[in-house]
Amino acid sequence: MSTQPFIPPKRILMGPGPSNVHPRVLQAMARPTIGHLDPQFIKLMDEIKELLRYTFQTKNELTFPVSGPGSVGMEACLVNLVEPGMKVIVCINGVFGGRMKDIVERCGANAIVVEAPWGEAISTNKLEETLKKNSDTKLVSFVHAETSTGALSDAKTLVEIAHKYNCLTIVDTVTSLGGVPVKVDEWNIDAVYSGSQKCLSCPPGLSPVSFNEKAIEFIKNRKHKVQSWFMDINLVISYWGSAAKRSYHHTAPINALYGLHEALLLLKEEGIENSWKRHKENNEKFIEGLKSLGLGIFVKEGQRLPELATVKVPDGVNDAQVRSRLLNEFNIEIGAGLGILAGKIWRIGLMGYTSNEGNINACLSALKQILNN
Ligand SMILES: Cc1ncc(COP(=O)(O)O)c(C=O)c1O
């Protein structure tokens, strides 16, 4: 058994997440732990809620980070807004839509799937056709930025259509938040969740969520108890809600929240519009560079995620070998394809703190050297 402290290697994290963490976030996380009900900590919680409202572009009172990774945020939204026997439309154009369907079915609901080919955005027409045929649907859920394929869907229009048919909406913004516009109030999203480890430049483990009044009203009037004690919003609210006196629900990950606070401050200092612009411009430079190496881009123009390029593995090139050479010789991590795209694409992220010119040049130059010999 080792008796040495673990010192991680210095990597450039250009996979589908986590991205590199800003040093200020790491420093914040190393500060002394205080109690999760200390008045100074409650003050920090209020600041985090306010900064998250800015990040999500919302005034929703119930905006806070769930203690857990993005999948817990996903589950928290679904278990609160899905009741047994309910009809739910789940849009699937990659791995994470599939995960939503699994959770919906575990809630005892009837999941109707609107499917799009992997690598394409969800079709707004197809959603509308499915809603017409299933007028008793109560909820529509979809992934804004599908990290398994690199496709960006039109969240604003999908939500608009869902509301036309009186459905609530849940939007996964794990990869989109901070990297592309996510406008919760303007787009009228009812429930939204994200993750700390992508465009927010924070370590994994926290999932910012936000619920509007309509979603809260649904949760308060549920016929069945939320089947998860930990994620039941009616209970979590005692700790993260607006009451002057907060009470114990679970022991919050205190130092992780120091980190999120610092990451959100950094985003506020940069200005969220500037962050969206930086991701877009860096992606354009990167795509140009990839093309000049003769590499093909998997997603068609207009539907590409600025924070994640999906690149076709050229014929005759060993996908795993290229990734392991990038890691071992250049300290650059990129992601493999998932599911049906395994071995066919690379997923190269330019998310949050990772999205800068130095990393673009380092990755292009390393790929050039590896592909040439
Ligand atoms: C779009 C999307 N949704 C959900 C998740 C799940 O997040 P986590 O891995 O933090 O549980 C991810 C993770 O990559 C994701 O990309």
pLDDT tens-digit readout, 224-277: 999 999 999 999 999 999 877 889 999 999 999 999 999 999 999 999 999 999
DSSP 297: B
Helical spans, DSSP H, in 82-210: 95-106, 124-133, 155-164
Structure confidence at residue 2 (pLDDT):
87
**Ligand 1 contact, 147 CB (< 6 A):** yes
Is residue 305's pLDDT more than 90? yes
What letter would DSSP give residue 185?
A: T
Q: Dihedral of CA 53/54/58/59: which sign?
A: positive
* Cross-strand bridge partners of residue 89: 112, 140
Q: 80 in ligand 1 pocket by Cβ < 6 Å?
A: no
Closest ligand 1 atom, residue 144 Cα: 1
Is 71 near ligand 1, meaning CB less than 6 Å away? yes
pLDDT tens sequence across 331-349: 999 999 999 999 999 999 9
Q: What is the 96 CA–ligand 1 centroid distance (Å)?
A: 7
Based on the number of CB atoms within 10 Å of its own CB, is 196 exposed (0-12), middle (13-18) or buried (19 or more)? buried
Output the CA 16–ligand 1 centroid distance in Å. 9
Pair 49, 59: CB distance under 8 Å = no
CB of 175 closer than 6 angstroms to any ligand 1 atom: yes
pLDDT score recorded for residue 55: 98
Q: Is residue 17 in contact with ligand 1, taking CB distance under 6 Å?
A: yes
Tell me the pLDDT of the chain averaged across its residues.
Answer: 97
Sequence-distant (≥ 6) Cβ neighbours of residue 344 within 8 angstroms: 312, 313, 319, 337
- Residue pair 110/89 in contact by the 8 Å Cβ criterion: no
Mean local confidence (pLDDT), 79-104: 98
Q: What is the pLDDT of residue 243?
A: 78
Kindly give the distance from the C-alpha atom of residue 268 to the centroid of ligand 1, in angstroms, as a whole number: 23
Which pair of tokens denotes residue 318?
């060993």
Q: Within 10 Å of residue 331's Cβ, how many Cβ atoms?
A: 14
State the number of CA atoms in the 13 A half-sphere of 329 facing the CB: 13
pLDDT digits (tens, 9 = 90+) for 59-91: 999 999 999 999 999 999 999 999 999 999 999
Are the C-beta atoms of 285 and 189 separated by less than 8 Å? no
197 — pLDDT class (breaks 50, 70, 90): very high
Average pLDDT over residues 18-42: 97
Alpha helices in the chain (DSSP H): 23-29, 39-56, 70-81, 95-106, 124-133, 155-164, 213-220, 233-240, 254-270, 272-292, 319-330, 357-372
Rg (Cα) of the chain, in Å, rounded? 21
pTM score, whole prediction = 0.98
pLDDT of residue 76: 98
Residue 272's pLDDT is: 98
Name the residue with tokens 């330019």.
Answer: 350
In the chain, DSSP finds a helix count (H) and a strand count (E) of 12, 13
Pocket test for ligand 1, best of 175, 192, 308, 338 (most atoms within 8 A of CB): 175
Query: Do the beta carbons of residue 49 and residue 65 sit within 8 Å?
Result: no
pLDDT of residue 373: 74
When pLDDT is averaged across residues 181-208 and rounded to a whole number, the result is 98
Residue 318 clears pLDDT 90, i.e. is over it: yes
Predicted pLDDT of residue 244: 75
Average pLDDT over residues 37-42: 96
Q: Report the half-sphere exposure of 41 (CA within 13 A, side-chain side).
A: 21
pLDDT per residue as tens digits for the range 119-145 = 999 999 999 999 999 999 999 999 999
Q: Are strands 87-92 and 12-14 parallel, antiparallel or unpaired?
A: unpaired
Separation of 174 CA from ligand 1 center, angstroms?
Answer: 6
> What is the CA(347)–ligand 1 centre distance, in A?
14
Which of 13, 71, 75, 260 is the best mutation target for the ligand 1 pocket, counting ligand atoms within 8 Å of the beta carbon and taking the most?
A: 71
Ligand 1 center to 118 CA (angstroms): 16
Task: Output the pLDDT for position 41.
Answer: 97
Q: Separation of 23 CA from ligand 1 center, angstroms? A: 23
Residue nearest ligand 1's atom 16 by CA:
147
**Cα of 203 to ligand 1 centre, how many Å?**
13
Helix axes 95-106, 70-81, angle to 10 degrees: 40
Q: Average the pLDDT over 273-288 and give the result.
A: 98
pLDDT of amino acid 1: 87
